[in-house]
Amino acid sequence: MLDALIEMFDSSGFMALDFKTVIVLGIACLFLYLAIAKGYEPYLLIPIAFGMLLVNLPLGGLMDHPVDGANGGLIYYLYQGVDKGIYPPLIFLCLGATTDFGPLISNPRTLLLGGAAQVGIFIALMGSIMLGMTGPEAASVGIIGGADGPTAIYTTSQLAPHLLSTIALAAYSYMALVPIIQPPIIKALTTKEQRKVKMQQLRPVSKKEKILFPIVVTIFTVLILPSSAPLIGMLMLGNLIKESGRVPKITETLSNSLMYIITILLGVSVGAKAEADILLSPDTIKIIVLGLIAFAAGTAAGVLMGRLMYRLTKGKINPMIGAAGISAVPMAARVVQGVGVEEDPSNFLLMHAMGPNVAGVIGSAVAAGVLLQYFG
């Protein structure tokens, strides 16, 4: 009996554990703690962290490739949705069904703020190249600055799949930290007087405008930049389904059930690429630092564009709404609202900030299209 127990222990995963694996298992548990106890991006961080946990537990074989007719591991097959670029466009389809482009249509000038906030992507791209990364790797790191997890995953899966787990974790970590990272940058780049600016109420947007918007944007964007079609196309299709009002059951499915199903499949698949040798490499530190620079630079560029618009409109635009130009919807807009309320409790900036916020979603998808067309 004792010999059988010893033999069982020798063949168990305990004997296959090494120092790196133990560290990554600890990181996975830390992410689970942050998601569950602190509420940091729980919908995606829980499946990502658990995917990390599963793939780093020795001998599980969940990411094993099929060999000589034998089946591969479970997560290997789930990962094909990432590898083939299926999950991120489906997330965009669902996101479109939950997005209201009304604030952007009502105040189209805010499109400039969403565009300006993408500057961080290209700053990080140049920094990555200076640190010796290849063009596709640098493009994948830079896209973190768009603060859009699905876009980062899609771009990286097409250009530098070996960096996928690190970039995905960095992108979603910084998205979760938006309420911590953005306020100091906003306050450093604006004056108290500027933060107190009250903006005029947005004009009502007609149903016709909301229906035409996704159609027109799709036609012009995809004609100009064909590589943006998967993300822009799915985003606008989801929005058109919602705004048409003809298929409420599909809208409900996209905005609820399908969104959550794809999210958990995407999260587990991405987390399962976070193997110890990949996650604990020197490149990981570079990516985390460059990702933070990209994120901060995008926020700063949006605020500075907001300051320019504040001057050009003679004080009619609150420059803080430029910080919402990154596409962390609606968290970035809520941060702007929170900072505004600190200065003046009667100031309501949320709907004004949603304009650049949804513009940032379009901007990050277009930026990804540019990078894919150039480096793909």
Does pLDDT of 150 surpass 70? yes
Highest mean pLDDT, choosing among 105-114, 173-182, 275-284: 105-114
How far apart are the C-alpha atoms of 249 and 133, rounded to whole Å?
Answer: 46
Q: What is the pLDDT of residue 162?
A: 87
Q: What whole-number distance in Å separates Cα of residue 325 and Cα of residue 155?
A: 20
Burial of 40 (0-12, 13-18, 19+ CB in 10 A): middle
Tokens of 47: 């499946």
What pLDDT score was predicted for residue 41? 77
User: Measured between alpha carbons, how far apart are the two ends of the chain, in Å?
Assistant: 59
Q: List, for residues 82-114, the tens digit of each pLDDT value.
A: 888 899 999 999 999 999 999 999 999 999 999
Q: How confident is the model at residue 10 (pLDDT cuts 50, 70, 90)?
A: low
Q: How far apart are CA 28 and CA 255, in angstroms?
A: 28
* DSSP category for residue 256: I
Residue 357 has pLDDT above 70, yes or no: yes
Q: What is the pLDDT of residues 196-229, one digit of tens each?
A: 999 988 889 999 999 999 999 999 999 999 999 9
pLDDT tens digits, 240-251:
999 999 999 999
- Average pLDDT of the segment spanning 318-338: 91
What Rg, from alpha-carbon coordinates, does the chain have?
22
pLDDT at 8: 64
pLDDT bin (cut points 50, 70, 90) of residue 9 is: low
Alpha-carbon distance values, 285 to 108, 167, 209, 292, 353 (Å): 38, 11, 46, 11, 32
Mean residue pLDDT across the chain: 90
**Residue type at 259?**
M
In this prediction, residue 291 carries a pLDDT of 87
CB neighbour list of residue 346: distance below 8 Å, 6 or more residues apart: 198
Q: Residue 354: which pLDDT band, with cuts at 50, 70 and 90?
A: very high
Residues 168 and 149: beta-carbon distance below 8 Å: yes
Question: Does pTM surpass 0.85?
Answer: yes
Amino acid residing at 272: A
Query: Which residue from 265, 357, 254, 250 is spatially nearest to 77, judged by alpha carbons?
Result: 265
> Is the pLDDT reported for residue 171 higher than 90?
no
Residues 6+ apart with CB under 8 A from 150: 87, 88, 91, 92, 95, 231, 266
The per-residue pLDDT for range 151-169, each reduced to its tens digit, is 999 999 999 998 888 888 7
pLDDT digits (tens, 9 = 90+) for 24-82: 999 999 989 988 998 877 888 899 899 999 999 888 889 998 988 789 999 999 999 98
Contact call for residues 195 and 343 (beta carbons, < 8 A): yes
Helix (H, G, I), strand (E, B) or coil at 22: helix
